[in-house]
Amino acid sequence: MTFQHALKTTALAGCLSIVAFSSALSADTTVNGSGASFPFPLYAKWAKDFSRQNKDVRVQYQAVGSGAGIRAFIAETVDFAASDAAMNDDEISKVPTEKGVVLLPMTAGEVVLSYNLPGNPELKLPRDVLIDIFSGKLDSWQDERIAKANPEIDLPDDEITVVRRSDSSGTTYVFTGHLAAASETFKQEVGHGKSVNWPKSFVGAPKNDGVAAMIKQTPGAIGYIEYGYAEATRQPMATLQNKAGEFVKPGEKSGTAALASAEFPSTDLPGYAGTPDLRVWVNDPAGKEAYPIATFTWMLFYQHQDEEKAKLLRDFVEYGLNQGQKDAPKMGYIPLPDNVKAKVERALKLVGGEQ
Amino acid sequence: MASNPFAHVVTKVCGPPSAADYGADKLLRAVVWGAAAVILLLVTYIVFELGRQAFPAMLSFGPEFLYSTTWDVQAKQFGILPEIWGTLYSSLLALLLGGVLGVAIAIFLTQDFLDHRVSNVFRTIVEMLAAIPSVVYGLWGIYVLIPLIRPGANWLHDSLGWFPFFGTSLSGPGMAPAALVLAVMILPTVAAISVDAFKRVPYKVKEAAYGMGTTRWEAILKVMLPSASSGILAALVLGFGRALGETMALAMLIGNSNQISLSLFAPANTLASLLASSFPEAGPIEVQALMYAALALLAITLLVNVFGLWIMKAATRKFEGR
């Protein structure tokens, strides 16, 4: 018995060491990235498929959050990073100039409003109601504006329990960006950022899954989560009223319509002449078919690094821009519009070797 | 057979200690001293490092940090009074529930209510509660406990809403589910150490009590409980310490809302939960503020422990005459 056991252990150890050896032999170039958790499922799929197609390379991506990704990028502990809030001018100035920065939008997503109402009806939320709920001024489902927009729903007399992210997050940044653009009072009272001064009666839950679970478990709750996450877990999603006054459902088509209105700044990235500034926000798209809360998400690269790594990173981005975009809609992301793709292709040339 | 079969033993026992003996002794002494020193150095280093990173925040926010109530990263306003309140309130509630229950379990397991073998099985089960990961408690709280207590809580609010403890309705997460889960989490600590405390009381003490004609309950309440009081208090202090620092389950259950409310059903926040949820994405100034908050949590834990030790000493003097 013990002999058999020993034999099994040896065999297992042997197998493991062979696996370890073969991977060490074949993957001779590895690039590491870390950052935003929102695009993680998509980036992880790209990394897996890309590494499978190219036998001697490996791309690793860790979802540690946008803020942590930017910190790691500034500290030069990664080869690339990802962030839902891009980088602000202050953060860009902290990256050593001999490394250089280039920010590339890689995919896009939407933020949806999920809720817990009896029978999971399709809820329509007028613009002013959304603002009032998230400013803490409206706490009853019996409000007549909600009733007017949803005549077919029998609204409960529960209080509205607002669930927000308790951790600082890119999702909050995008969501409050929309509300702040739509309402000056919201901007003054609550603010726009990765974590903001929410009214004190709101309930905070960690991460997308925490918010989703909390909504599911609390009658009368409403909260904001990523579209991809809501789609994967089949949470009900509210139809929102956009700037043009139309009620629009979240989805690939309405998201693409929102992104089409994005106008990239014509200036260069601060401190880097010749590097296009690809940071743009569509906080309140004007299009009739546009879903109001959509955003790009970025990958951050150095302009100067080991030539071998630079080539690998360029190939990886190239893969993500072409084959990779086909994965996006299936996984709840919005593919990049063609004009944006062209801009990224051009900027990608800046990811290069040593100076 | 002239040789002495005990020769090797005799030399070992009677001979003077060899150089190797001295060496081994010195080595052991060094290892033990080293281990003790490492602990001290580690604690000092942690306090120093926290203090160093919190220092800029301490300079810019001052003592106001400890008694203001806003945590607004955009406006660079930081205050942790709601978190301090939530930490102490949730831990005290948990101590009240978990403490009473834990000591009751200890009495049940040690005072001959059960057959020896059954009580051992029982004790193992209680101790197994300590092996359940915090996040599982959190999920259990969200999916089982909150729906379970919601009807009762809302009935209390509807009929006794004037009473400050029931001042709000329970929508989802809040102080009550958090404190209940926390009570279950500290239960194994309190129960296991209290069991040991009861077992340490010499059997003669109980026999003497029975000999004086006490009933079983008189013996337990008037003799056994005071005799074991120092150990039980130690159990409570440890349980309270655990409750103060518990993070994940509370981050999931307490609602993370920066308000101070007496109501058991209102969402609140704790220091550990604030640290856990804000650290990953915090910017440089927020990190300093969080370090300051961590230092405050450390200070609270330290004060509670010192206070607990002091009570324990007083109890020992009063009840055990030492």
Inter-chain CB proximity B280 and A193 less than 8 Å: no
Number of domains chain A contains: 2
Inter-chain CB proximity A67 and B283 less than 8 Å: yes
pLDDT digits (tens, 9 = 90+) for B131-183: 999 989 999 999 999 999 999 998 999 898 888 889 888 888 899 999 999 99
Q: Based on the fold, state whether residues A146 and A217 are members of the same structural domain.
A: yes
Q: Based on the fold, state whether residues A14 and A103 are members of the same structural domain.
A: yes
Residue B312 has pLDDT above 90, yes or no: no
The CA distance from B254 to A204, in Å, is 8
pLDDT digits (tens, 9 = 90+) for A159-197: 899 999 988 888 898 999 999 999 999 999 999 988 888
pLDDT digits (tens, 9 = 90+) for A79-137: 999 998 888 888 899 998 888 999 999 999 999 999 999 988 999 999 999 999 999 99
Q: Based on the fold, state whether residues A237 and A324 are members of the same structural domain.
A: no
Is A32 part of a structural domain of the chain? Answer: yes
Which has the higher per-residue pLDDT, A38 or B32? Answer: B32
pLDDT of residue A135: 94
Kindly state whether A242 is in contact with chain B, defined as any CB-CB distance less than 8 angstroms: no
Q: What is the DSSP letter of A167?
A: S
Which pair of structure tokens corresponds to residue B110? 């040690």
pLDDT of residue B72: 84
Kindly state whether A166 is in contact with chain B, defined as any CB-CB distance less than 8 angstroms: yes
Which pair of structure tokens corresponds to residue B126? 């209680």
Residue B6 has pLDDT above 70, yes or no: no
Number of domains chain B contains: 1
CA B220, B222, B223, B224 dihedral sign is positive
pLDDT digits (tens, 9 = 90+) for B249-289: 998 899 888 889 899 999 999 999 999 888 877 777 888 99
CA distance B288 to chain A (A): 15
Q: Which residues of B touch A196 (CB under 8 A)?
A: 72-74
Residue indicated by tokens 């590895």: A30
Is B4 part of a structural domain of the chain? Answer: no
Mean pLDDT over the full length of chain A: 87
Inter-chain CB proximity B171 and A203 less than 8 Å: yes
pLDDT of residue B7: 65
pLDDT of residue A207: 83
In this structure, what CATH number is given to the domain that contains residue B93?
1.10.3720.10
CA A136 to chain centroid, in Å, comes to: 26
Mean pLDDT over the full length of chain B: 89
In this structure, what CATH number is given to the domain that contains residue A297?
3.40.190.10
Residue B91 has pLDDT above 90, yes or no: yes
CA A111 to chain centroid, in Å, comes to: 9
Kindly state whether A203 is in contact with chain B, defined as any CB-CB distance less than 8 angstroms: yes
The CA distance from B216 to B220, in Å, is 6
SS3 B182: helix
Is A353 part of a structural domain of the chain? Answer: no
Q: For chain A, list residues with pLDDT below 70.
A: 1-27, 355
User: CA of A158: which chain B residue's CA is closest?
Assistant: B171
Q: Based on the fold, state whether residues A137 and A180 are members of the same structural domain.
A: yes
CA distance B158 to chain A (A): 13
Is B107 part of a structural domain of the chain? Answer: yes
Q: Which residues of B touch A195 (CB under 8 A)?
A: 73-74, 278, 281
Using CB atoms, which residue from A68, A163, A218 is nearest to B280? A68
Burial B203-240 (b: 16+ CB within 10 A, else e): eeebeebeeeebeeeebbeebbbebbbbbbbbbbbbbb
Using CB atoms, which residue from A67, A158, A205 is nearest to B282? A67
Q: Based on the fold, state whether residues A195 and A69 are members of the same structural domain.
A: no
Residue B11 has pLDDT above 90, yes or no: no
pLDDT of residue A21: 45
Is B9 part of a structural domain of the chain? Answer: no
Q: Based on the fold, state whether residues A45 and A81 are members of the same structural domain.
A: yes
pLDDT digits (tens, 9 = 90+) for B185-208: 999 999 999 999 999 999 899 899
Q: Based on the fold, state whether residues A246 and A150 are members of the same structural domain.
A: yes
Is B91 part of a structural domain of the chain? Answer: yes
Helix (H) or strand (E) holding A124: strand A124-125
pLDDT of residue A23: 45
Using CB atoms, which residue from A67, A193, A203 is nearest to B172? A203
Phi and psi at B35, nearest 5°, equal: -60, -45
Is A231 part of a structural domain of the chain? Answer: yes
CA distance A342 to chain B (A): 31
CA distance A235 to chain B (A): 16
Kindly state whether A161 is in contact with chain B, defined as any CB-CB distance less than 8 angstroms: yes
End-to-end alpha carbon distance in chain A: 63
Quick one: which of A324, A313, A322 has its CA closest to A348?
Answer: A313
Is B197 part of a structural domain of the chain? Answer: yes
Range of the domain at B87: 62-320
Phi-psi region at A169: left, alpha or beta (left = phi > 0; alpha = psi -120 to 50):
beta
Q: Which residues of B touch A158 (CB under 8 A)?
A: 171
pLDDT of residue A16: 45
Which pair of structure tokens corresponds to residue B163? 């009473």
Residue B241 has pLDDT above 50, yes or no: yes
CA distance A52 to chain B (A): 31
Range of the domain at A119: 111-252
Which pair of structure tokens corresponds to residue B63? 């003592």
Residue indicated by tokens 């120092």: B230
Is A354 part of a structural domain of the chain? Answer: no
Helix (H) or strand (E) holding A103: strand A101-115
Q: What is the largest CA-CA distance in chain B?
A: 97
CA distance B209 to chain A (A): 53
Q: In the beta sheet, which residues pair with residue A163? A: A203, A223
The CA distance from A295 to B36, in Å, is 55
pLDDT of residue A164: 93
Q: Based on the fold, state whether residues A82 and A138 are members of the same structural domain.
A: no
SS3 B159: helix
- Is the separation of the CB atoms in A80 and A317 below 8 Å? no
pLDDT of residue B297: 94
Mutation target vs B (from A73, A74, A168; most B CBs, 10 A cutoff): A168
Q: Based on the fold, state whether residues A102 and A131 are members of the same structural domain.
A: no
The CA distance from B109 to B96, in Å, is 20
Residue B9 has pLDDT above 70, yes or no: no
Inter-chain CB proximity A159 and B273 less than 8 Å: no
Inter-chain CB proximity A196 and B73 less than 8 Å: yes
pLDDT of residue A19: 44
Alpha helices, H only, chain A? 2-26, 40-53, 66-74, 89-94, 127-134, 144-149, 170-182, 184-189, 207-217, 227-232, 252-260, 307-321, 323-330, 338-348
Which pair of structure tokens corresponds to residue B176? 């009550």
Quick one: which of A204, A211, A246 has its CA closest to A229?
Answer: A211
